[in-house]
Structure 1
Amino acid sequence: MDFKNSVVAVTGGASGLGEATVKSIVAHGGKALMMDVNDEKGTQLAEALGDQVLYVNTNVVEEADVRSALDQAVEKFGKITAAVNCAGIGGSQKTYGKNGPFDLVLFTKIIQVNLIGTFNVIRLAAAKISENEPNEQGERGVIVNTASAAAFEGQMGQAAYSASKGGVVGMTLPIARDLSSLGIRVVTIAPGLFETPMLGRAPEHVKQALSAMVPFPQRLGQPNEFAHLVQSIIENPMLNGEVIRLDGALRMQPK
């Protein structure tokens, strides 16, 4: 699919991996719907990038929010050709520890945002993408999801986060199969340790220790490297139903 003329809906688009993806889309001549709940950052970024970007305050777990954002993007840009799910939250707590059992409210919230929110956007974006005229290969669009290395090697305290990202991994293939007759591909990226706001507040010595866990390159991943992979997925028609680890050969240790 042509990345240059794409119209991409990006959740969590105001920071981290989502922000890098939005900037990459615009830099290559595409247009972006930036969906986020951070109005200050979202508005600033949209103003900086110009008419190629539309920012809409969007809670990914709310059907009305997602529908409205997609409708506004279609009205402004004429279509949706891809969706990139980057919205997500963290939260660490042992299943049972000195403070008692894992807080079920926190567990539920992480699952709602990371897993249910991702599926909510997938199903509604697919409806919009299905309206496109197929290209010469029969393709109408692409959906890219964000999982995590924690989906495979969750550390202590990551039961909720790992469950949410494992769910994203697990639904990748069946959704790709569901949407195949419509010419819509579905691919998931599972990043390792990346320099994002989720890690940005960590002390420097913690970042250095995390970097040392990565075999090569021995550093935290950069958001633009995630965005580069998104571009490759959109452009390569044979990438479908797959989960791609982007982690420098990292395999997470128990803690």
Structure 2
Amino acid sequence: MVDVVRVIKCLFQSKACMLYMLRMKTIISDSYVGVVTLVTGGASGLGRGTVERFIKQGGKVVIGDLPSSKGNDLAKELGDSAVFVPLDVTSEKDVQLAVSTAKEKFGRLDVLVNAAGIAVAHKTYNSNKKMAHSLEDFERVLKVNTIGTFNAIRLSVGAMVENEPNVDGQRGVIINTASVAAFDGQIGQAAYSASKGAVVGMTLPIARDLSRDGIRVVTIAPGLFDTPMLAALPDKVRHFLAKSVPFPQRLGKADDYAHLVQSIVENPMINGETIRLDGALRMQP
């Protein structure tokens, strides 16, 4: 309430308003100084947006992504506050290296953002081709999206519990990425929807598992976002998809996702929940 009163007074005291807003900006920025985050899938799309936002806020970031990604170039571009680690989320060794890199280079690990993921589009059975869904493809999607997410979680916790707790007893924050497909899966999305539904399903039990350790667990379920997954589509299709979003009628931006990640980190009462980030979109079959 005090802040509201001050903002109203700004209408009459423009100089004081500018000073106050500058002070508030500094407080918000300073809250991320020294915060160390590991972002899987951090070289592109939603992961990259998160990396860039946290660096701007004064944080330190370990960019985990495949060796073939542009993660190394991104880390060089961002400077000493970022480091790239080749990472396959399904590999125990790779995740352990990413976590140890965070501790060795930056002294700790505060936040894990699971943004790595893949998708395939196959019907359970294609009547025209008389072909059943590839079991190999189904397993691969679940291995990356579900098992990879859990792998990164379980191997990051050990570093977080070593942190000194804050006034609430918090030692770390874990943020996963699901999808609206977990709720509104479309034709051809059996594997993808299953993998993301599993991420949603394990959010609450893991949050409860880690509550005594002071670690929060939250999942974001994005809708239609302007990421590499949609980049290959023709412009007409992308425009159609954008218009299918009730409001705002556009594809989500990586920074929209990153903004929510920041809000989750900042708000200690958000825990054990999946948050839809979709502009009120409900996917049609």
Q: Which amino acid in 1 is paired with 2:104? A: E
**Largest Rg, 1 or 2:** 2
CA–CA separation in structure 2 for the residues paired with 1:143 and 1:24: 17
- Does residue 149 in structure 1 map to residue 180 in structure 2? yes
Instruction: Report the equivalent of 2:141.
Output: 110
- Does residue 228 in structure 1 map to residue 230 in structure 2? no
Instruction: Report the equivalent of 1:248.
Output: 279
**Secondary structure, aligned partner of 2:252:** coil
Which structure has more RCO (C-alpha within 8 Å, separation ≥ 6)?
1
Instruction: Report the equivalent of 1:181.
Output: 212
Q: 1:122, 1:143 within 8 Å by CA — same for their partners in 2?
A: yes
1:89-238 matches, cutoff 5 A = 89-97=118-126, 98-99=128-129, 100-238=131-269
CA–CA separation in structure 2 for the residues paired with 1:38 and 1:216: 37
Identify unmatched segments of 5+ residues in structure 2.
1-29
Q: Give the fraction of aligned pairs with identical amino acids, expressed as a percent.
A: 58
Q: 1:4, 1:25 within 8 Å by CA — same for their partners in 2?
A: no
Offset from partner CA, 1:21-64 (integer Å, 9 cap, x none): 00011000000010000445111100000010010001100101
CA–CA separation in structure 2 for the residues paired with 1:7 and 1:24: 13
- Does residue 6 in structure 1 map to residue 31 in structure 2? no
CA–CA separation in structure 2 for the residues paired with 1:39 and 1:69: 16
Q: Which amino acid in 2 is paired with 1:223? A: A
Offset from partner CA, 1:41-94 (integer Å, 9 cap, x none): 111100000010010001100101100111111100000001000000010000
**TM-score (norm. length: structure 1):** 0.98
CA–CA separation in structure 1 for the residues paired with 2:227 and 2:33: 26
CA–CA separation in structure 1 for the residues paired with 2:174 and 2:218: 6
Identify unmatched segments of 5+ residues in structure 1.
none
RMSD: 1.1
1:76 to 81, 87, 105: 105
Instruction: Report the equivalent of 1:37.
Output: 66
Offset from partner CA, 1:194-223 (integer Å, 9 cap, x none): 000000111000001111111000110000
Instruction: Report the equivalent of 2:48.
Output: 19
Which 4+ runs in 1 deviate beyond 2 A?
Answer: 1-5
Q: 2:124, 2:133 within 8 Å by CA — same for their partners in 1?
A: yes
How many residues in Structure 1 have an aligned counterpart in Structure 2? 254
**TM-score (norm. length: structure 2):** 0.88
